[in-house]
Chains A and B, each alone.
Chain A
Amino acid sequence: MREGTFTILYMIAVTGVFTAAVSGVNGLTMERVELNRKFHERRHVLGALDLTEDPDLDPMEVKRLFQERVSETGWPGREKPLYVRLDADGRPEGYAFPIEGPGFWGPIHGFLGVAADPASEHAGEGDALELLGIAFVSHSETPGLGARIQNKEFTEQFEEMTLTPPKEEGARWIELQKEGAALGPNEVHAITGATRTSDAVETFLNGSFHEILKALRSLRAEETAREKEGD
């Protein structure tokens, strides 16, 4: 056999063998990986909907809470699923909107939990977004720096925040300030040393509130219509 032919055959054989081995492992782990991913996402959805304070909730609890308190619906006008937090009577209490945007190393995906109807003091103001919480499901940020957006210290700032559309055109709904600075009603602390990640999060969050408010109004209208029919 000529040297050149052997080389090519060898390359093909080696590529084939190792690709097959890798595919084999992939096949074996695929189900587990998907289960892990689903569980991981659900745990974050529960956090965003403020159904749990525990970042390490165990799988059985996650499953139970999901069965009892969460359902799915569609984002009006978009091809995306929304998670719905249900109260004891099965009526929507809140929605978890998927949010995403570019981070520093890669895209950041998460959920923003919003109350279905604003609490008493803002009732009647169809314009308020009452946040239940926020959760970042995936990102590629630097561990210990940008990755801290997943930490409780950062995410709990968003719980029970109420946001209203800014008065000026193009102004921001929410602002991230330096750690240690005094905070206004629509401000949270950024992450020290992770300026780029913090800026990225601020930008894509602000870009999404308008859409979310629109969707919320639409969902409320649907719900009201459904209740009327039920009477």
Chain B
Amino acid sequence: MPLTQDDAKTIGAVFLKAFWKDNPIFRQVLGICSTLAVTNLLSNTIAMCVGLTFVVVMSSATVSALRNWTPRRIRMMVQTLIIAAYVIVVDLLLKAHLPAISKALGPYVGLIITNCIIMGRCEAFASNNNVKASLIDGMGSGLGYSLVLLSIAVVREFLGFGTILGTRVVGDSWVQWTIMVMPAGAFFMLGLFIWFARWAQTRSRTEQEEGSP
């Protein structure tokens, strides 16, 4: 079935909302745990982003598909079960086919289950919308998450190790800001990022309001 003009607008709107306007990290402040834990190395961050996006898309789709059957009372338990199942699948597939990445991510893969973003999207969107929309919403959330993580990771790895993706990009006399790769640095970076992102959002919103006749 070819996409109509309306379809395109809806897809775009849903995506944009999940990706930017309601960005899971700097707007909703969800999924913080992994944001802090893996962003000290860009390579691990990329793996985590891919893993999380996969799980949030698949989980949203599945929860949406089952939404008319699932009794209200056990809604959250069922969502958690579905998420856990997909995470285990990702974990097993990584261990079997990309063992180096699996070792690098280690305990964090299991913690994708409790990543509030996935649960948040399932609860807020997927349980009330059709499968197609849920897929897009999941995609938008996953990519919105990735945007924030990758931005933070680039800064943390660069300042903390002087490398990007493992390759040194600064001279030998560069003094590493080791605090950047420790928890404190993670918190600071995240705080600054949220501050900046929200400021950017407010500014563009005021401009839009002032600009419109």
**Which residues of A are interface residues toward B (Cβ below 8 A)?**
3, 6-7, 10-11, 14-15, 18-19, 21-22, 25-26, 29, 32-33, 36-37, 40, 105-106, 138, 140, 142-145, 147, 192-193
Contact = CB atoms under 8 A, between A and B. Distances in A.
Given A6-B71, A19-B85, A36-B96, 4 more contacts: A7-B73, A14-B70, A33-B96, A192-B178
A146 to B, nearest CB: 11
B99 interface: yes
A192 B41 CA distance: 16
A32 B41 contact: no
A15 B85 CA distance: 10
Contact of A33 (B77, B85, B95): B95
Query: Interface size class for chain B?
Result: 35 or more
B119 interface: no
A40 B104 CA distance: 13
User: A-side binding surface: helix, strand, loop or mixed?
Assistant: helix
A144 B41 contact: yes
A13 B70 CA distance: 11
Interface of B: 37-38, 40-41, 44, 66, 69-71, 73-74, 77-78, 81-82, 84-85, 88-89, 92-93, 95-97, 99, 103-107, 157, 160-161, 176, 178, 181-182
Name the prevailing secondary structure of the B interface residues: helix
A26 B92 contact: yes
Contact of B74 (A10, A18, A37, A143): A10
A16 B3 CA distance: 37
A37 B81 CA distance: 28
B40 A145 contact: yes
A29 B93 contact: yes
A143 B41 contact: yes
Contacts of A40: 99, 103
Given A21-B85, A144-B41, A144-B161, A32 B107 contact: no
